[in-house]
Chains A and B, each alone.
Chain A
Amino acid sequence: MATYRELLAEVKLRIDEVGATAAHERHGEALFVDVREREEWEEGAVPGAVHVSRGQLESRIEGLVPDRSRELVLYCAGGSRSAFATKALQELGYENVVSLAGGFTDWKRNGFPIETPRSLTPDQRRRYSRHLLIPEVGEAGQERLLGGRVLLIGAGGLGSPASLYLAAAGVGTLGIVDADVVDDSNLQRQIVHSTESLGEPKVLSAKRALEALNPDVVVKTYEERLTSENVERILGEGWDVIVDGADNFPTRYLVNDASVWHGIPVVHGSIYRFEGQVTVFNPGEGPCYRCLFPTPPPPELAPSCAEGGVLGVLPGIVGSLQANEALKLVLGIGETLQGRLLLLDALGTTVDEVSVQRDPACPVCGEHPTVTEYVDYVEFCAGARA
């Protein structure tokens, strides 16, 4: 029977170890994996490291590091737990894994950089547990969401489900721009509001509902219609993503131009009767709204839901798709709808997709922009067909 000391010595013979200096040289390229317990990790860690405690290593590593040829540096406090961990990963087929001899203690002693990871409270760990279980989200992703800022244009049909899911997901700051009050004709679909908020400004009704759903979320309200005069002030507060659920063309074009100039991605959704459209406009990366629709349609071709109606659940579907795109953009994961316009027909339950390309001649995001400051968007949209 072997003693612990003998077992450790034997394991160390069968793995590769690096000292703190050699590990530091790999920092930035290799992925550092901290295998200590959570409390140790929270007190300070190697910047950029991921945390998987030794006990969960084998079960979680494939989700975190699918690529078995990835260069990994495992560390613990002193180099013993990471030695056993390194052997375990070798047995799982990881080809390029080393253990940091001397561990985090030696790393710190050498004066190499450390950081104190933001960490979730026990309440947050329970609330977001289903996110934490997904490798693509995990604790780092959840912290990103909590630090995320999403601006919603409109607290109506699309803004209702989008804001509810973004708040539930723990997006830390939500801005809502809407000048309307809750009307009883809204309640067939605008599920963030309720009968008791009739007559109340939508932004306040939404704020109450969202903060009740998730107290981690700060809701900033803008009880005004987005205009050329206030757009700089509102967008200037800094947003990661805009969710556009406006109900009119002038606002759509205004949001587009402002987002291009501010470099903020827009998750676009629109609905009418049984049909919806969803896409992502990512300035500098993909097309913008004007690349897709250079010219607004004449009013008779563009009735609003107030004129033509909308199935109540349709904004629920489209707004949820928008929330999905916004979450991926904040998390930096997956494939967004950039360059693709999703066409949803709820009556036939069909989904079509058409491609949207960047227009080099686009007046706002093209090679030689001709629109470089805010225009009168109401006039622009009214004058489409002179």
Chain B
Amino acid sequence: MTRVRIPPTLRNEVGGERELAGAGETVREVLADISGRYPALEAQLFEDGDLAPFVNVYLGGEDVRTLDGLDTRVNGSSVILLPAMAGGC
């Protein structure tokens, strides 16, 4: 299972969880596994089957856009979901 960090702005979609575990060989499979359980999360993360452009996904600290995208193999690393935050207030 791969650990997936849920940012505060997406916790309402996953029942308040800060971290979830997902099954799968690739980032796509892991996120699909979690989204299957939390359809509201899927609606925020994906657009037309691809990652929404405003959500950054990191595997082992590296942006998956610089790896093989959603097809990057997880290989035991953990995933961080990260949308931008504006607040300086």
Contact = CB atoms under 8 A, between A and B. Distances in A.
Contact of A247 (B7, B44, B86): B86
A323 to B, nearest CB: 14
A302 B85 contact: yes
Interface residues of A, number: 48
A277 interface: yes
B70 to A, nearest CB: 17
17 contacts: A156-B89, A157-B88, A244-B88, A271-B87, A272-B85, A272-B87, A275-B7, A275-B8, A292-B56, A293-B84, A297-B83, A301-B54, A301-B83, A302-B9, A353-B61, A354-B80, A384-B54
A336 B29 CA distance: 35
A352 B87 contact: no
Interface string A300-326: 011111101010000100000000000
Contacts of B23: none
A248 B56 contact: no
A357 B61 contact: no
Interface in B3-39: 5, 7-10, 18
Contact of B54 (A246, A272, A295): A295
Nearest to B57: A354
Contact of B53 (A273, A294, A306, A308): A294
A63 interface: no
A154 B66 CA distance: 33
A353 B84 CA distance: 15
A153 B87 CA distance: 12
Contact of B88 (A247, A343, A384): A247
A280 to B, nearest CB: 15
Contacts of A154: 88-89
